[in-house]
Each structure stands twice: as structure tokens, then as C-alpha cells.
Amino acid sequence: MTSTCTIFQREINSYFLSPIAYVIIAVFTVFSGYFFSIMLGITQESTLRYSLAYTQFILSILTPVITMRLLAEENKTGTIEPLMTAPVTDFAVVFGKFLAAWALYNVMIAPTAFYIIFLAWVGNPDYGAIIASYIGLFLMRGLFISNGL
């Protein structure tokens, strides 16, 4: 498990030491905020149903940007050979990279919690549906990452 943690830490550092994570988070935040405000203005309902549907679409577009570099960067820099001959299993390498991408997605989704606070301020949202939607979004991100990896 320590090799998985090491690979996870290395991947997280590579995401946040380069501008890619910040650009992806900014793009996602702008588009999800836009769709949230438009859907709230159109429907006049205190729900995240419509904006989370667009969030799924945005995530399906941004997933290749995050996942295509996970193993391709290792090939490009020539570190795939030492990584695969090191005393780590293939599972540890893939799972560490998967967890790092999933952590980036969770950081990316975290600002949408302000939508719930705003909806509670302007209306009475159905918290059960919101929690179920976020659980589904959490699992869908795992599916997208595993598919891209």
C-alpha cells in the first residue's frame, strides 16, 4: 500500500505543480456556474437537477484532459521502464494514478457545494435528491477515470 501512496503523492504533485489542474478547475467552475445560474433563472426551482446534468456533460469533456496524461507522460519522459521494473505491482501503479485523478475531480467538484448553500438561502431544496446526485456524480467520476485510464 505504501507504493500506491507514493505514486498517488507523485501524481498529485505533478497535477498541482503544473498549471493543468488550475486551468481544468477554472474551466469547470466557470461552465458549471454558468449552467447553474442559467438553469436557476429558467426553472425558478431550488434544485440542482438540471445543472448537475450539465455537470456530467462538462466532466465527460474534461476527463480526457485529465486521464490521457496518466500513463502517456510516463512513456514520454521515459520513466515507464524504471517504474515497471521497480518493486511495485502493476495494480499499485494503476490504482495510485486512479486515486490521484479521482482526488483532482473531488477538488474540482468541491466549489459546487456553494450552490447548495445558495439554494438553501433562496428556497427549500430537497437535500435527499442533492445527496443522491452527489453520490452518483462521485461514482460517475470513478467510471470516467477508469475508462480513460
**Secondary structure (DSSP) of 103-117:** HHHHHHHGGGHHHHH
List the pLDDT tens digit at each of the 149 positions of the chain: 688 888 889 888 888 888 888 988 999 889 888 888 888 888 777 777 777 778 888 888 888 888 887 777 766 776 666 666 677 787 888 888 899 999 988 898 888 888 888 888 888 888 888 888 889 888 888 888 888 88
Q: Measure the CA dihedral 34/54/98/110, to 10°.
A: 40
> How far is Cα 86 from Cα 80, in angstroms, rounded to an integer?
10
Instruction: Give the predicted TM-score (pTM) of the model.
Output: 0.83
Residue 130's CB is within 10 A of a number of other CB atoms, namely 20
> How far is Cα 15 from Cα 18, in angstroms, rounded to an integer?
6
Side chain identity, residue 111? P
Say which residues have a Cβ less than 8 Å from residue 45's Cβ, sequence separation at least 6: 123
> How far is Cα 40 from Cα 51, in angstroms, rounded to an integer?
8
